[in-house]
Amino acid sequence: MFEKKFLEDLKNRKADWDRQAEKLRATKSRPKFITVSGEEIKELYTPEDIAGLDYEQKIGWPGVYPYTRGVHHTMYRSRYWTMRQFSGMGTPRQTNERYHYLLKNGQTGLSVAFDLPTLMGYDSDHTRSLGEVGKCGVAVDSLADMEIIFDGINLGEVSTSMTINAPASVLLAMYLGVAEKQGVPFNKLRGTLQNDILKEYIAQKEWIYPPEPSIRLITDMMAFCTEHVPQWNTISISGYHIREAGSTAAQELAFTLADGFCYIEAAIKDGQDVDAFAPRLSFFFNAHQDFFEEIAKYRAARRIFARRMKEKYKAKQERSWLLRFHTQTAGCSLTAQQPENNIMRTAFEGLSAVLGGTQSLHTNSMDETLALPSEKAVLIALRTQQIIAHETGVTNTIDPLAGSYFVEALTDKMEADAEAYLDEIEKRGGVLKGIEDGYFQREIANAAYRYQREIERKERIIVGINDYIMDDEKIDIPILKIDETVEKDQCAFVKKVRAGRDNDKVKRTLEELVTAAKGKGNTLAAMLECVRVYATEGEICDALKPVFGEYVEPPII
Amino acid sequence: MSEKIRVLLAKPGLDGHDRGIKVIATAFRDAGFEVIYTGLRQTPEMIVNAAIQEDVDAVGVSILSGAHMTLFPAIKRLLVDRKAGHIILFGGGIIPEEDVKALEAQGIDKLFTPGATTEETVAFVRKAVAGRKDNEKIM
C-alpha cells in the first residue's frame, strides 16, 4: 500500500520516536492493554502494520466483493439500518400493546421475544412451564395467540424477526396462519427466523430434538420458503448467544461462521442449489464493549464469508456472497449496579455496530440486568439509535474507519484468528462432532472464566463493579414486573382454545405431520395444516418426539 | 478438617443460561471443593434427590429466567420435607432486591446478584458450612 522508500524512512523515524517514548513507558494507566477478548494491543499502529495490504483485494469498495466496506454501494446514505427492538412479555395482548407503542415511536421492524416454554416447545399449562410463563418473553401456545400479538399490524407492511429455534417451523407456520387471516399473500411477507439450532447446542441451550433431525426441519423450511415465502430470511446464524455465554470475539466469529457453513453444506447435500437459498441466510452478531475489536469483527466476517461462498461453495450470484447481519448490544456487558450507566455502554456498542455496517440493530435497555425493559427504558434505547443515525454524523460517509492502520490491522488479525479456528473445527471432524465432544462448550466456558478472573483481579475495570462503586446504592429506575396472573390467564386461554376447536381435525393433521416427518414430506407444509386448525405448539412438538427423539446434553464443566 | 466440602450446583427450570454456573463451578473447584454439576433443566425433585444421594454440604442454584419466586421455595420445601433442611441453599441470578429479601426470609441462605464475585460466593459457602458443622458439634 506504500512505496518501499517511504516505509524505510518510516522505520528510522519510528525508531527515533520509540527512543523518546521509552522513558515514559514506566508509567502505565493500566496493568495490561488488552481487548475484551484478552488480545494484546500495541501502543501504536503505523503504515508498517498495513504495508502488505492490497487495497482492491482486502478492502475494496462497498457493495463489491469481498465487501469489507459493507454490503451495499451506498449504505446508510440510501437507507438507515432497521431499528428493531427485541420485545415481548407477558400475554399476547400486552406484547401487542408494546409493539404498537414502539411502532408509534419510530421503530422500523418488529422482533418477537418468546417465553421459555414457547422456546422449548411446551404449552403454558405443561408442568415444566410452571413459573416461566410470560417471564422472558411472550407466551404463545396456538395460532389464537399469534392473531392477538399482530392484531392491528399489517403483516404485508412490517418486517418481523422471530427469535425462535427448536420449534421455529411451528412459529413460522403460525405467522403464515396470521397472514392468511389478514389476507396477505406469503410472497409479501418479510422477516427473519432465528432458526439457528446449532448455536443452541453450543451456547443458548434451548433445544428439543437432536442435531440431525433438527437440521432436517431447517432444510425443509428453506425449501418451503424458496418456493412460497421468497422474501423471508430463513435462518439468522447467531453469534450473539455464543458471545453472551462468554466467548471471545474471534470465537464468536469463527463458531458462527462454522455453523453457517454447516447449514449450507446440509442444504447442498439435500439437493438444493446454493444460489437458491444462500441469499436469504443472514447473521446475528453481538456488539460488546471493545469498540475497535467489534468493528474489526464485522468487517472480517464479510470478507471471510464472501470468499468461502464464492470459492468453496461455488455460489455464482453476488447476493449469495453477502453477509448481512443484525446486531444486538451485549447484555452481558451491562451492570445491575448504577443501571443508568448502561445507557452509555449501549450507545458505544450500538455505534460500533453502525461503524461495522450492520443491517439492523437492537440496543439494550438500561434495566435488562434487572428485568424485562420498562417502557421508559426501551424508549431511551430506541432513541439511542435515532441519535446515532441523525446526530453523530457517522452515517454521512461509508465505512469511515477504513484505512485506519489500527482498524485494518485488527481486521486482518480477526480474520486470521477466525480462519485458524475454522481449520481447527474441520480438523476435529466438523461442527456436529465438536458439539458432541463438548469442544465449543469448553472453549466458551474457559473464556468466560478467564474474563471473570480478570475482573476479580482488577486487570479489567468495570465501572460500578470493581471500581467506582457506590455504597448504599438505591436503584432509582422503574422495574417491570410480570404479574403472576399472566400464567393463570394464559393457561386458561389455551384450555379454552383446545375446547373450542375441531379435535378430529387436529388429530388428523398431527398424524399427517408424523407421516411427513417419517418420510420425505415437507414438515413445514404439514405444520401449517396443524396450526390452521389450532393445534398447539406443545402438541405439534410432542408429535415429532417419537420420530426424532429428544436431545440431552451431558453436563460439561 | 481435611475433608473436602461437597457442593451441588444446579440449573432448574427451562433456563439454559449456564455461563454463570459454569464460572462458579470452576471457581469452587479451584478453591478445593468437590463439585457436582447437574446440568440443565432439573426439576426441584431431581435437584433435591441428587443433593441427598450425593450427601452434599451445600446446593447452589442459578436462575436467570425470572422463575426464582417459584423454584427456590420449591427446592427449600423439598429439602425440609426430606429431612435435609440442614443443607445450605444458596443461589444467584437476575433477582430484584425485594425478591432477594422475600426469598431469604423464606429460608434460602443467600442469593447473589449480578456483579457478585466468585471469591465472595466461595467464602460464603465455606463459612456457612463450617458454621453449620460447629452447630452440629454443640448439639
Q: Does A2 touch chain B (CB under 8 A)?
A: no
Read off the pLDDT of residues A483-518 as tens digits, 9 standing for 90 and up.
889 999 999 999 999 999 999 999 999 999 999 999
**In this model, does residue B83 exceed pLDDT 90?**
yes
Does residue B69 sit within a domain? yes
Q: Does A195 score more than 80 pLDDT?
A: yes
| pTM recorded for the entire structure | 0.93
**Using CB atoms, which residue from A444, A465, A482 is nearest to B66?**
A482
Per the CB < 8 Å rule, is A371 touching B18? Answer: no
* pLDDT tens per residue, range A214-233: 999 999 999 999 999 999 99
Residue in B closest to A475 by C-alpha: B97
B26 touches chain A (CB under 8 A): yes
Give the model's pLDDT for residue B139.
Answer: 57
What's the DSSP call for residue B12? B
Share of chain B above pLDDT 90, in %: 81
B1 is a domain residue: no
A46 at B interface, C-beta within 8 A: no
Residue B2 has pLDDT above 60, yes or no: no
> Considering only CA atoms, which of A288, A480, A286 is closest in space to residue A377?
A480
Give the chain B residue nearest A200 (alpha carbons). B16
Nearest CA in chain B to A474: B97
Please give the pLDDT value at position A404.
Answer: 97
Give the pLDDT of residue B135. 78
Q: Measure B86 CA to nearest chain A CA, in Å.
A: 26
Q: Interface pTM (ipTM) of the complex?
A: 0.87
- Specify whether the CB–CB gap between A109 and A84 falls below 8 A: yes
DSSP 3-state of B89: strand
Residue B111: predicted pLDDT: 97
Confidence (pLDDT) at A372? 87
Is B23 part of a structural domain of the chain?
A: yes
CATH number of residue B71's parent domain: 3.40.50.280
Peptide bond into A117 cis (omega under 30): no
First-residue to last-residue Cα distance in chain A: 47
Of A205, A332, A554, the CB nearest to B16: A205
Task: Tell if the CB–CB gap between A557 and B37 is shorter than 8 Å.
Answer: yes
Instruction: Please report whether residue B97 resides in a domain.
Output: yes
Q: Is residue B40 part of a domain?
A: yes
Domain carrying residue B87: 6-130
Q: Which of A122, A245, A370 sits opposite B96 (nearest CB)?
A: A370
Average pLDDT over residues A525-540: 98
Instruction: Choose from A115, A132, A487 for mutation: most chain B CBs within 10 A.
Output: A132
Contact B94 A465 (CB under 8 A): no
B100 located within any domain: yes
Residue A506 has a pLDDT of 98
> Which chain A positions have a beta carbon within 8 Å of B72's beta carbon?
none
Asked if the structure places residue B137 within a domain, the reply is no
Q: Is A78 helix (H, G, I), strand (E, B) or coil?
A: coil
Q: What is the SS3 assignment for A152-202? A: CCCCCCCEEEEECCCCHHHHHHHHHHHHHHHCCCHHHCEEEECCCCHHHHH
Of B15, B40, B97, the CB nearest to A475: B97
Classify the C-alpha dihedral A403-A404-A410-A411 as positive or negative. Answer: negative
CA distance B47 to chain A (A): 14
Judge whether residue A557 has pLDDT over 70: no
Q: Which residue of B has its CA nearest to A338?
A: B115
Note which residues in 113-132 of chain A have CB less than 8 A from chain B.
Answer: 116-117, 119-120, 122, 128-132
Nearest to A194 by CA among A164, A223, A229, A167: A164
Domain total of chain B: 1
The yes-or-no verdict on residue B1 having pLDDT over 60 is: no
Three-class DSSP category at A283: strand
B40 interfacial to chain A (CB closer than 8 Å): yes
- CB pairs below 8 Å between A and B: how many? 100
Provide the pLDDT confidence category of residue A554 given band limits of 50, 70 and 90.
confident
Cα separation, A283 vs A489, in Å, equals: 36
With a pLDDT cut of 70, the percent of chain A lying above it is 100
Q: Is pLDDT at B96 greater than 90 in this prediction?
A: no
> Which of A136, A200, A475 comes nearest B65 by C-beta?
A136
- Residue B138's pLDDT is what? 66
Residues 6+ apart with CB under 8 A from A83: A106, A107, A108, A109, A360, A361, A382, A385, A386, A389
Confidence at residue A413, expressed as pLDDT on a 0 to 100 scale: 97
Is position B35 within any domain? yes
Interface residue B2 vs chain A (CB under 8 A)? no
pLDDT at residue A370 tops 90: no
Task: Compute chain B's Rg from CA coordinates.
Answer: 14
Question: Please, which pLDDT band fits residue A184 given cuts at 50, 70 and 90?
Answer: very high
